[in-house]
Chain A
Amino acid sequence: MKVMMFLLLALVACELGTGRTASSSPGYSYGDQTGKNGACLSCHADTAKVKGTRYIDPAKYAHTNHSRIGCLACHDEVTGGHGGSGRTTGKTSCVVCHGDINVEYSRSSHAGNATCNGCHNPHRVNSPNEISGQDMNRMCSSCHDIYSVSASHGKWLPQADLHITMLPCITCHTGSKNYVINLYIVKRSTEERSGKFDLASHGELRKLAEGRDIISLIDTNGDGYVSLAELRNFNRNPQYKDLHLYGMMIPEQVTHSFQILDNRRDCTFCHASGPGAMQTSIIAVPEANGTFRKVAVEKGAVLDALYATPHFYMMGGTRNSTLNKIGLVILAGGLVMPVGHGFLRFLTRKIRKEREDRHE
């Protein structure tokens, strides 16, 4: 029995050590190969030597997991004579490592419409947690024209434009069960009063934060956690009048199970989730390398009555309980006259009847 336990623990330790899932079995070592990429990047990170899709942004590539397994892990046919030969190198299939995703994707309604490379560039791909909802939609809109998407959704979806800009496509078109409200910092793109709001860049926010960590604009006590009071202060601060927190509902688990789900056409899938489901939100802070870091926010931020997230409201889902109580008191006030007066009217009905009879 002890031997069995030891073997089981050893197996688990091996799996954790490699950081891979059981379904992927490429046979490559996941030891960091980054240092060996230099020979390839000496040409492929130089626009003078390579053009178009052969150019690889070294900073973005360095951030990917692919850089850590090394160029040769995928391009194993490359030989010493590759440089300057003009020959196209072979490349391995994504399925070799990402077999589980491939199985999931093959079953989706998107399979056959695009290969992995159709959406993802392996030399700059980031994990779903590191990219914004806008980035996710940018991938989709490279094929799906935004106007035709808006027109087709507008046939049944009220305020289709609003939904399309506030939701990543995968929120409705994959089968995620839980969602998190990601709050992105957006900024007016011009000095004009009516300038459009776009995602604020790392550089812009770093400048506003005077070189400090960007989140210090909101997390003023620097505890790495944004409280409701800090959120309210940020939103009411006239110094940041051109900055907003823009909320998007992002799937907690991003999958490749693209499909048209009938239950998403039922508005109550999102709009009736009620306050219980709208407790969790995070602030996505832009990093220098173009990715986003997530900072935890006190529970219930999007349910706050006014100032925690003044620009994020989801009908039915983010109603505020204090406002509900005030509304109830107002309605009860309206019943004072019918109930109170009506009761006295009932008690005094005989007095009026006698007076009426006397007049007749």
Chain B
Amino acid sequence: MSEKNFIYLHPTPVRLWHWLNALGIVTLCATGIQIRFPDVLNIFGSYRAAIVLHNTAGLVVAISFSLWFFYYTLGARTISKIYIPVSSDLKRGLLRQAFFYFFLYFFGCDNPHHPTPDSKFNPLQKSAYLAIMFVLMPLISLTGILLMNVSPLRELVLMAGGLKILVGLHFLLACSLGAFLFTHVYLTTLGHTPLAHTKSMWTGWEEAEDHGGEAEAAHHGNPVPESAMARVKVTP
């Protein structure tokens, strides 16, 4: 019998937000494809159904995004720690992490980043999520809200340069989000087991790697609080 260390990485509000977002974004992608290519694809029975579902999912994701933002900025107050890369991330972290993913990983080397509640993301993740959560998501939500309300918000539509600019931007941002989804889902399979990261997002507890995780995390300036640690006896 051996022991495994677990870290409480994803608090309940974050997990709820993540899965709500996941459902919403997948719905938005599927309905969006039908809305843009109705003569090619009909998934939801009717065009109107696709539009109503797209608008509903869009509102849910936009509201959920706002809740996430307020939770991290006003509630947990960890948004800058988690999402903003520090200078060491930019100077060394990005390269080190990229070198791991594209070279060392294939030889079974350890991930140089060990997540803690306050430092969940490696430098590459931080940079990607910074662009996604602070640029892509607000822009795609804003363009979507304008496109949903063309008549009442006509002045804002005109200020943005017209419908074509908004539609083009909304579509290309959606493609970028779709591209991110492919990469995101693939990267979740790079844990101890292919489903380890997915399980952790479901339960909140992430298995710490067996190399003195606490000490390692502390070494990187991210000590794990006792309340976020658990040891579980497992039968091999």
- Which A residues are closer than 8 A to B by beta carbons? 156, 158-159, 161-162, 165, 193-194, 266-268, 271-274, 304-307, 309-313, 315-316, 319-320, 323-324, 326-328, 330-335, 337-338, 341-342, 344-345, 348, 351-352, 354-356
Contact = CB atoms under 8 A, between A and B. Distances in A.
B60 interface: no
B19 to A, nearest CB: 21
Contacts of A156: 48
24 contacts: A161-B151, A193-B155, A267-B48, A268-B46, A273-B39, A306-B165, A306-B168, A310-B162, A311-B163, A313-B163, A315-B36, A316-B35, A316-B47, A320-B168, A328-B175, A330-B172, A330-B176, A334-B181, A335-B179, A337-B186, A338-B186, A341-B186, A342-B186, A351-B106
Contacts, number: 127
Given A158-B55, A341-B101, A352-B107, A266 B46 contact: yes
A316 B178 contact: no
Contacts of B233: none
A162 B151 contact: yes
A333 B172 contact: no
A330 B39 contact: no
B52 interface: yes
B150 interface: yes
B132 to A, nearest CB: 12
B179 A330 contact: yes
B88 interface: no
A158 B37 CA distance: 18
A345 B102 CA distance: 10
B58 to A, nearest CB: 13
B164 A313 contact: yes
**Residue among A307, A311, A348 with most chain B CB within 10 A:** A311
Contact of A351 (B48, B51, B107, B168): B107
Given A158-B55, A341-B186, A305 B180 contact: no
Interface in B133-153: 148-152
A327 B186 contact: no
Interface range, B side: 35 or more
A165 B151 contact: yes
A297 B36 CA distance: 25
Given A320-B168, A337-B183, A267 B51 contact: yes
Interface in B161-216: 161-165, 167-168, 171-172, 174-176, 178-183, 185-187
A267 B46 contact: yes
B108 interface: yes
Contacts of B163: 310-313
A334 B38 contact: no
Contacts of A158: 48, 51-52, 55
B200 to A, nearest CB: 20
Nearest to A307: B164
B220 to A, nearest CB: 22
A216 to B, nearest CB: 23
A261 to B, nearest CB: 16
A33 to B, nearest CB: 47
Given A316-B35, A316-B37, 16 more contacts: A159-B149, A161-B152, A268-B39, A271-B38, A305-B164, A306-B164, A310-B163, A311-B162, A311-B164, A324-B36, A327-B171, A331-B175, A331-B178, A341-B102, A348-B107, A351-B107
